[in-house]
Amino acid sequence: MHIPYKGGAPQLNDLIGGHILIGSIGLPAAMPHIPTGKLRPLAVTDAKRSVFLPDLPTVAEAGFPGFGVTYWLGLLAPAGTPRDIVDRLAAESSAILQAPETRAALATQGAEVIVSSPDEFKALIENEIVKWSKIIQQTGITAE
């Protein structure tokens, strides 16, 4: 049975509390609860294994070939923001994300840092829109 949640936090609480048996939670939110035994990871949804849990199979490896959903976060600015400001924000945030202390802090949370240009990030978003639009259309998914 599908249980819709309004965000990862309520779902995480229900998983830890034993109110639901399975869920898909981003690794940064789940990581603190794995060593304690409160959560048991079954597979990663990404097309490749996590560098933080290298022995954990992907969903595709666990029996669902072709499955691959990547959890990502990014920095966005309002539409129409001048390109020089976008480039400056990108350069400053890239410098921060590439700093060893930032990478180390994020790694403790299970977050792998991948830095891209504004154009690469825009392409990622556009590809995700196409991918998920097809899936929504093919499956008839509707908002609840």
22-75 tens-digit pLDDT:
999 988 899 999 999 999 999 999 999 999 999 999 999 999 999 989 888 899
More confident call, 37 vs 7:
37
Q: Which residues on adjacent β-strands are paired with residue 44?
A: 58
Please answer whether residues 27 and 52 qualify as being in contact, where contact means their C-beta atoms are separated by less than 8 angstroms.
yes
- Mapping DSSP to helix (H, G, I), strand (E, B) and coil, where does residue 95 land? helix
Please answer whether residues 79 and 59 qualify as being in contact, where contact means their C-beta atoms are separated by less than 8 angstroms.
no
Mean pLDDT in residue range 84-96 = 97
Nearby residues of 85 by Cβ (< 8 Å), 6 or more positions away: 77
The overall average pLDDT reported for the chain is 93
Domains in the chain: boundaries: 72-144
Query: pLDDT-based confidence at 3, cuts 50/70/90?
Result: confident
Q: Which of 118, 117, 115 is nearest to 81 (CA)?
A: 118
Query: pLDDT-based confidence at 81, cuts 50/70/90?
Result: very high
pLDDT digits 0-9 by tens, 110-125: 888 999 999 999 999 9
Helices (H), the chain: 8-16, 27-30, 83-98, 100-107, 118-139
Nearby residues of 42 by Cβ (< 8 Å), 6 or more positions away: 22, 56, 62
